Amino acid sequence: MCHINMKTIGRNTVALIVIFFSLIFATVLIQANMNDQSSTIYNVSYKNNQVGFIEDKEIMEQVINNIQLRLEYELNTSILIDDIVNILPVYKDDQVLMTEQELEDKLFNVLLYNKDDFFVKANVLSINEDTKVIVKDKETAESVLEDVKSGYLKDDTSAKVENIEFLESVDDASLFVATSSVVEKEEAVEQLKSSKDEKVTYSIKSGDTLYEIALNNDMSLADLLKINPQLQQDSLIHIGQELNLMIPKPVLSVKVQEKLTYQEDIKTPVEYKDDDTQYKSYSKVIQEGEPGIKEITSNVTYVNGLESEREIISEKIIKEPVKKIVAVGTRTLPVFGMPVYGMITSPFGSRWGSFHTGIDIGVRTGTRVKASESGTVIFAGWSGGYGYLVKISHSSGYTTYYAHNSRLYVKKGQKVSRGDVIAASGSTGNSTGPHVHFEIRKNGVPQNPTKYIY
């Protein structure tokens, strides 16, 4: 007879029931999860603006890659879209789903319209690791630098450029940057040429003047004096003296070294020959001179278009100079004394529409008139408008006149010494009152007596 263990049956039944309900619960969860996945789609947006809905977010990587290639082709540069496109899961309702191609086309147009929002690959020129100028590619960067350099080259066939370089360090790196920071080539050149004034020291050279120094450095004389307060407009300057200058300094300075061949005049030498038969005021060219010509080759350095250094490496004489010979008198100029002492009432020169050939010295009638210098009396008598006149001949072609006298004390041919009394003053001839009209003539030409009287 078989015995049934009721406890064992009870335990097995409970186990079956637990398994049964567990399977049901798992099935429900799986079904629920499947239902949940089938009700989820993805919202693609750009800057919080909806582009469209897709069912499978896995297609986005390929879509973005395709768009990037299309944009790079359209913009002719590498770009970085990065994370500017957002993809968020949403509950599926009645949204219209886009195909992969539809999404790609629409998102491409949106990004192309907003091309300034993403990064493009460009070339960054860094000057002294500070000032940065950004252009679209390496070729443009190189062209910009060449344009900056060529701006300081001169159209001079006699000059050979030995070297041209930047004074600042220039780094060129390829980076992804915001589209809005990229500038056109012309603007990049202008940025690198832009300048601000910088104070530098200038050493005065032979032939310099304050006006020419200011002019050669694009300054006004007033500005030059302003930054050199120790100077006045009429200040004397000397070779080697240092001045402050305000020179425009561009962002990128260019040094050009040239070998320059040019011609210069050789100064005409002058030889002076003494002539002891003539007075010191005498000078006469007895042989005309001519400058010579020499060919010079120099190494010349320019910084930002201004010459900073010149080294002469060779000189060759093309034409020898011709000496100029000048005869100069060595005799001391004659010094004449005053014939009388009084006030000069009428000077030498223009007077009353005519020319006054001497000076009038106001004195009382009868004043003793003395010989101004030793000589020989060549005339003593009446002479029209001069009244009673005495003429005395002196050496080197000089003659003195003493006019309007009341009495004469000498005769023609008489030798007189300086200070001898020769007449008494008066007012004879064309005279408005008692005075002495006194003349000094050189070879018959009236001279200004005040230049000879001592």
In the chain the domains, ranked by start, together with CATH numbers, are 41-117 (no CATH), 121-194 (no CATH), 257-333 (2.20.230.10), 343-451 (2.70.70.10)
Per residue in 253-263, pLDDT (tens digit) is 999 999 999 99
Give residue 390's identity as a one-letter amino acid code.
V
Residue count (the chain): 454
pLDDT above 70 coverage of the chain, percent: 91
* Mean predicted confidence (pLDDT) in 33-54: 78
**Strand positions, DSSP E, 136-194:** 159-166, 170-178
For residue 321, give both structure tokens.
């100079």
pLDDT above 90 coverage of the chain, percent: 55
Q: How many Cβ atoms sit within 10 Å of the Cβ of residue 365?
A: 16
Q: Decide: residue 26, CB within 10 A, 0-12 exposed, 13-18 middle, 19+ buried.
A: exposed
Alpha-carbon span 149 to 272, nearest angstrom: 53
Residue 360 bridge partners (DSSP): 346, 437
Using alpha carbons, list the distances in angstroms from residue 302 to 82, 170, 204, 240, 257.
Answer: 48, 19, 18, 20, 6
What pLDDT sits at residue 442?
Answer: 93
What stretch of H or E contains 305?
A: none
For residue 234, give both structure tokens.
């009429």
Per residue in 332-356, pLDDT (tens digit) is 777 899 999 999 999 999 988 899 9
Q: How many Cβ atoms sit within 10 Å of the Cβ of residue 140?
A: 19
